[in-house]
Amino acid sequence: MVSGRWWRGLLLGASILSAPARAETFEQVLERVAAAHPRIVAAQQLTRAGRADVRAAKSSYRPQFGVETDLGWDDGNSSRSSGFALLPEAKVSQLVYDGGRTPAEIRRRRLRVDLLGVQEQAALADLSQQLAAAWIDHARAAELIDIGTQQVAALEALDRLVVEIASFDRGRASDVVMVESRLEQARTALQTREITLAEARGRIREVSALPVEPQGSVPDITGALPETAENGEAMAAGSPAVRSADIEVAENAEAVKGTRNWWLPQLALEGARTSERTVEGDTRLFNGFAVRLRASALPFDSGGGRARHEAARAELESAESSATLARTSLGAQVRRLWTFQAQRRARLPSLAGLIARADDARNIVFEQFRLGRRTILDLLGYELERFNVRAQLVNERFDIAQTQYQLMGVLGRIYPAVVGGPMIGPGARP
Count of domains forming the chain: 1
Residue 221, in any domain of the structure: yes
State in Å, rounded, how far the first CA of the chain is from the last one. 60
Half-sphere exposure of 63 (CA within 13 A, CB side): 6
Looking at residue 231, its amino acid is N
Cα separation, 22 vs 211, in Å, equals 8
Biggest CA pair distance of the chain: 139
pLDDT at residue number 13: 42
pLDDT in tens, 225-275: 999 999 999 999 999 999 999 999 999 999 998 888 877 888 888 888 877
Q: pLDDT tens digit string along 112-135?
A: 999 999 999 999 999 999 999 999
Q: Which long-range contacts does 52-60 make (Cβ < 8 Å, 24+ apart)?
A: 53/109, 53/112, 53/113, 54/106, 54/109, 54/110, 54/113, 57/102, 57/105, 57/106, 57/109, 58/106, 60/95, 60/102, 60/105
Q: Is 69 helix (H, G, I), strand (E, B) or coil?
A: strand
Distances (CA, A) of 342 to 94, 335, 337, 348: 63, 11, 9, 11
Sequence-ordered list of residues with C-beta below 8 angstroms from that of 127, at least 6 positions apart, any chain: 33, 37, 39, 40, 207, 208
Amino acid identity of residue 333, one-letter, is Q
Q: What is the CA radius of gyration of the chain?
A: 37
Overall pTM > 0.85:
no
Coil, strand or helix at 126: helix
pLDDT score of 78 = 56
Tell me if 159 is assigned to some domain: yes
| Structural domain boundaries, residue 345 | 102-263+328-418
Q: Looking at residue 426, what is its pLDDT?
A: 39
Q: Is 146 inside a domain boundary?
A: yes
Q: Is 333 helix (H, G, I), strand (E, B) or coil?
A: helix
CB 396 within 8 A of CB 349: no
Tens digits of pLDDT across the chain (430 residues): 444 444 444 433 433 334 456 678 999 999 999 999 999 999 999 999 999 999 988 888 788 888 888 776 666 665 656 666 777 888 888 888 788 888 888 999 999 999 999 999 999 999 999 999 999 999 999 999 999 999 999 999 988 988 888 888 776 778 888 999 999 999 999 999 999 999 999 999 999 999 999 999 999 999 999 999 999 999 999 999 999 999 999 999 999 988 888 778 888 888 888 777 666 666 777 777 888 888 887 777 777 888 988 999 999 999 999 999 999 999 999 999 999 999 988 888 888 888 889 989 999 998 988 888 888 899 899 999 999 999 999 999 999 999 999 999 999 999 999 975 444 443 333 3
Q: What local confidence, expressed as pLDDT, does residue 76 receive? A: 60
Residues 6 or more apart whose Cβ sits within 8 Å of residue 409: 125, 126, 128, 129, 132
Domain membership of residue 425 (yes or no) is no
pLDDT of residue 91: 84
CATH of the domain at 157: 1.20.1600.10
Query: Quick one: pLDDT at residue 100?
Result: 81
Q: Is residue 210 a part of any domain in this protein?
A: yes
